[in-house]
């Protein structure tokens, strides 16, 4: 059995049987060579015992994880994954806590690492960490430490063997990075003769050394400052992007204090969310609890929280409009009570009746028609751009007095002569009174704008 093989191998090499599974392959070969010397039969027997011992991994006592008690009235883990617990600000040790060497120790040496179409096809379908973007080396916005951490998590999540981990690593890096890695492996002699574990360990050292510029803390701080809530982005998506950036900082050894994290989170929110924080949730000083209540506030407000981020509403908590928009609204409201200058004749905006070209043309036309009646000679009418309404008809004092009785029944040829002024011409057009109608009504003969003649009734006012 595996336990007996482990005990026998431990006695042969002088080690505790519980620690055999922690040996590296090169350490096993060194122990076998030291114990057996040149005896090939003993070497093969010890190797067989070692392989048999690895078929059953000894049980490990479960590790008890202390979950901190949540004093808040809300279980914020229901709505989103909590942000990393902040520690003391500044640099500390690397927070990743894993490496490719640890991954190789976790893999069983008895696993089948043979190349097959099925395994290659399976690796090609795995998602690439970092949103499906390959690691581009020095030009990548991510740090190389964070990329390796995400890659290791994916390998553990899918239970990949060492050979598949190597294939998956080659798939997750760009062509330029892959070319530099192949050149480094060829220079060290690891491209053909080395084992898969040696290639993985060398790849880790090469990536961290060649692209260490991406681990710069100043560069990371700049990226953290640029993490803000986008337009029409839900609060959960913004929290997810911020959490990923904080996890990257932990890989670089940077822990952000709670006050700094809270200030960064609020400054990155849109204006309507910031107003909700400052007016409703100003008493909340825990970032995770604030994320939870903002998620509930967003769900209760619906479209007002996501779409109408620039609308101003006194009954709901929305963002104030920009100053430029407020100035435009104030200017429009100030001009709302002032009516524009409009002509009484053509009803156009921008001039008065005395300056109207249509009115002046009508006056000239009436003068020409009067000359036609007096002389009997045709006079060409001036062009008129638009049909004109009935002009203002003003009676002379003599004609007005004629309405009372002396002018009643007189013909149009016995009317007083027309008198003209600088602005317009006064025309005496009253010819007869109609007693059957209102006392203030009169039957007049008028010249229409079309050039024809007719009669109309007007009021004395």
- Tens-place pLDDT, residues 437-447: 555 555 555 55
Same domain, 246 and 311: yes
Q: What is the pLDDT of residue 179?
A: 92
Buried b (16+ CB within 10 A) or exposed e, 207-244: bbebbeebbeeeebeeebeebebeeeeebeebbeebbb
How far apart CA 192 and CA 101 sit, in angstroms, is 20
Strand partners, 458: 442
With respect to residue 87, please indicate whether it lies within any of the assigned structural domains.
Answer: no
Given a contact cutoff of 8 angstroms between Cβ atoms, the answer to whether 456 and 444 are in contact is yes
235 and 323 belong to one structural domain? yes
* 271 within some domain: yes
Distance between CA atoms of 123 and 135, rounded to whole angstroms? 17
What tokens does 30 get?
Answer: 């060194």
327 and 233 both lie in a single domain: yes
Query: Is the CB of residue 235 less than 8 Å from the CB of residue 273?
Result: yes
Confidence of residue 12 (pLDDT cuts 50, 70, 90): confident
Q: What is the pLDDT of residues 171-222, one digit of tens each?
A: 999 999 999 999 999 888 888 888 888 899 899 999 999 999 998 889 888 8
48-89, pLDDT tens digit by residue?
888 777 765 444 444 443 444 444 444 434 444 556 555 444
What is the pLDDT, as a whole number, of residue 106? 56
Q: Are 107 and 207 part of one and the same domain?
A: yes
* Domain stops at, among 215, 245, 279: 215
Helix (H, G, I), strand (E, B) or coil at 395: coil
Tally Cβ neighbours within 10 Å of residue 450: 9
379 and 278 inside one domain: no
Burial class (CB in 10 A: 0-12, 13-18, 19+), 146: buried
**Is there a single domain that holds both residue 423 and residue 372?**
yes
Q: Can you give the residue range of the structural domain that contains 250?
A: 218-332
pLDDT-above-70 percentage for the chain: 60
Alpha-carbon span 220 to 244, nearest angstrom = 12
442 and 414, same domain (yes or no):
yes
What pLDDT sits at residue 459? Answer: 55
Give the per-residue pLDDT at 211.
Answer: 92
Residue 199: partners with Cβ closer than 8 Å, 6 or more residues away: 166, 185, 190
pLDDT, one tens digit per residue, over 346-367 is 888 888 888 888 888 888 888 8
The pLDDT of residue 84? 58
pLDDT for 441 equals 57
Query: pTM to 2 decimals?
Result: 0.44
Is position 341 within any domain?
no
Q: Return the ∠ at Cα 393 (arms to 389 and 398), rounded to 5°.
A: 170
326 vs 131: CA distance, rounded Å: 40
Last residue of a domain, one of 215, 232, 261: 215
Digit-coded pLDDT (tens) for 125-142: 889 988 788 999 999 888
Domain presence at residue 75 = no
- Separate counts of helices (H) and strands (E) for the chain: 18, 7
Burial class (CB in 10 A: 0-12, 13-18, 19+), 127: exposed
Residue 290 lies in a domain: yes
Q: Report if residue 83 sits inside a domain.
A: no
Best-predicted range by mean pLDDT (46-55, 150-159, 308-317): 150-159
| Same domain (yes/no): 100, 202 | yes
Residues 413, 312 share a domain: no
Task: Judge if 208 and 110 occupy the same domain.
Answer: yes
Query: Which of 270, 299, 332 lies at the terminal end of a domain, its last residue?
Result: 332
CA pseudo-torsion sign 104, 109, 110, 112:
positive
Position with higher pLDDT, 305 vs 44: 44
Choose the weakest-confidence range: 58-67, 110-119, 311-320.
Answer: 311-320
Residue that the structure tokens 């989170």 belong to:
265
Distance (Å, whole) CA 277 – CA 347: 54
Task: Estimate to the nearest angstrom the gap between the alpha carbon of 340 and the chain centroid.
Answer: 42
Phi, psi (deg, nearest 5) at residue 326 = -65, -40
337 domain residue, yes or no: no
Contacts of 394 (CB under 8 A, 6+ apart): 426, 427
Q: How many domains does the chain have?
A: 4
- Looking at every residue in the chain, the average pLDDT score rounds to 71
Whole-angstrom distance, CA of residue 12 vs CA of residue 30: 13
For residue 319, tell me if it sits in a domain. Answer: yes
Is 211 found in the same domain as 100?
A: yes
The closest alpha carbon to 57, from 85, 22, 93, belongs to 22
Residue 439, helix vs strand vs coil: coil
Residues 210 and 229 in one domain: no
């Amino acid at each position: 059995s595996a336990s007996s093989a482990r005990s026998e191998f431990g006695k042969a090499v002088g080690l505790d049987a519980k620690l055999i599974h922690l040996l590296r392959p090169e350490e096993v070969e060194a122990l076998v060579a030291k114990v057996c010397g040149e005896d090939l039969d003993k070497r093969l027997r010890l190797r067989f015992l070692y392989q048999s011992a690895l078929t059953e991994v000894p049980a490990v006592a479960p590790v008890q994880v202390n979950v901190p008690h949540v004093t808040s009235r809300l279980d914020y883990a229901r709505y989103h994954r909590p942000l990393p617990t902040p520690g003391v600000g500044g640099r500390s040790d690397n927070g990743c806590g894993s490496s490719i060497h640890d991954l190789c120790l976790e893999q069983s040496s008895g696993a089948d690492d043979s190349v097959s179409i099925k395994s290659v096809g399976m690796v090609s379908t795995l998602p690439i960490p970092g949103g499906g973007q390959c690691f581009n080396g020095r030009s990548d916005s991510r740090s190389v430490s964070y990329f390796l951490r995400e890659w290791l998590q994916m390998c553990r999540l899918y239970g990949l063997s060492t050979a598949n981990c190597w294939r998956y690593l080659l798939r997750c890096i760009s062509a330029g990075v892959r070319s530099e890695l192949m050149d480094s492996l060829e220079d060290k002699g690891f491209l053909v003769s080395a084992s898969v574990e040696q290639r993985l360990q060398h790849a880790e050292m090469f990536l961290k050394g060649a692209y260490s510029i991406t681990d710069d803390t100043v560069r990371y701080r700049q990226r953290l400052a640029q993490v803000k809530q986008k337009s029409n982005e839900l609060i959960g998506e913004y929290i997810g992007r911020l959490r990923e950036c904080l996890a990257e900082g932990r890989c670089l050894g940077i822990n952000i204090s709670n006050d700094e994290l809270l200030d960064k989170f609020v400054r990155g929110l849109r204006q309507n969310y910031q107003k909700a924080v400052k007016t409703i949730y100003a008493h909340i000083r825990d970032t995770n609890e604030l994320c939870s209540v903002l998620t509930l506030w967003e769900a209760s407000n619906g479209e007002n929280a996501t779409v109408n981020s620039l609308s101003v509403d006194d009954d709901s908590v929305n963002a104030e409009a920009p100053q430029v928009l407020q100035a435009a609204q104030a200017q429009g409201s100030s001009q709302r009570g002032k009516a524009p200058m409009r002509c009484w004749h053509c009803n156009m905006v921008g001039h008065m009746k005395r300056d109207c070209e249509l009115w002046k043309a009508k006056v000239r036309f009436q003068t020409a028609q009067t000359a036609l009646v007096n002389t009997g000679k045709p006079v060409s009418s001036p062009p008129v751009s638009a049909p004109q309404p009935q002009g203002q008809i003003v009676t002379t004092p003599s004609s007005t007095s004629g309405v009372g009785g002396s002018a009643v029944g007189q013909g149009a040829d016995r009317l007083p002569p027309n008198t003209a002024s600088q602005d317009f011409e006064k025309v005496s057009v009253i010819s007869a009174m109609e007693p059957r109608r209102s006392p203030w009504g009169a039957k007049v003969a008028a010249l229409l704008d079309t050039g024809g003649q007719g009669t109309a009734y007007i009021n004395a006012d």
